[in-house]
Amino acid sequence: MTTEPAEPVPAAPAPASGPAGPAVPPPPAAPPVAPEAFASETGVPEAVAPKAPRRPRPVLLTACALVLGTLAGGGVGYAVQAQRPPTPLPPLQAARPAYPAERVDPAALAAEQPAPLGIDGDLTKLLIGAPEGSTPWGERPDKPSWISIGELAEQRSGAADTFKDLASRGFRRAAQVNWKKDGVFYRVQLVQFTEDRADEAKSGYWPLPFAENANGGYKVDIVPTHWAESTEQYYYGGAHAKRGSVEMTIEVLDTKPANPDTLKDLAKRQWERLG
């Protein structure tokens, strides 16, 4: 068996002498994986984009400040009020009932009371009635009846102005009776105003007296007047008087001048019923 020496390993060649080339930069390091990274289905972690920081909401901060301020103010006020001594309430003051020392005179007490109404009760019972042999005047009642302020105004010229005049003068109520006899139309009317407006009852200008103590008078026209919106003529005769808060009016419409004696008799009888 022969032994052969091992072949020597050739040494690495020495670097060539001469100027060195430019240094090669190292490869860039891999970017660090964010903590929120998670493994994908392949097992390789993936980076998650970081979220922007949340800004505080002004409305929520304002509400919190109001609540805290209210609680703090209430607590401070309660602490201050608790340290103050209690304030006693003022005593209740009430006048004791007073009674007259002497007995009241009934007559003197009655004299101090307001005067009763001059004319009260049912006005229809104060009206004179239609005489025998008379007939109704169209649709107008021939028996004493109540009438409204509107019906009263419609019987006079210028109904709208008459209505306003009566209402402004304290109109209270009215009653009336009508009849026709021998072709002559008659109307007797009572109009009452409130007691505080008793002076509003007007007597007007009635030159001829029908009674000595009557607060009014009568007149008879000698010039005819036309019916409203017609060519028919009539002669007017009327009497008027005022007692307290009541006006009394009597009207006669005839195709010839009214009989003054008949008019005076009606006015006098009606005036006496108001007394």
Task: Work out the widest C-alpha separation in the chain, in whole angstroms.
Answer: 198
From CA 269, how far away is CA 251, in angstroms rounded?
14
Q: Could you tell me the pTM of the whole model?
A: 0.57
Banded model confidence at residue 27, pLDDT cuts 50, 70, 90 = low
Residue 203 pLDDT: 58
Share of the chain above pLDDT 90, in %: 32
SS3 210: coil
B/e letters for 48-58, b = 16+ CB within 10 Å, e = fewer, are: eeeeeeeeeee
Top-confidence range, 27-31, 103-107, 261-265: 261-265
Taking residues 15-40, report their average pLDDT: 48
Residue 198 pLDDT: 73
Residue 1 pLDDT: 46
More confident residue, 97 or 24: 97
Per-residue pLDDT of 66-118, as tens digits, reads 888 888 888 888 888 888 888 888 887 777 888 777 777 888 877 777 665 56
Q: What phi and psi values does residue 263 have, to the nearest 5 degrees?
A: -65, -45
Residues facing residue 38 across a β-bridge = 46
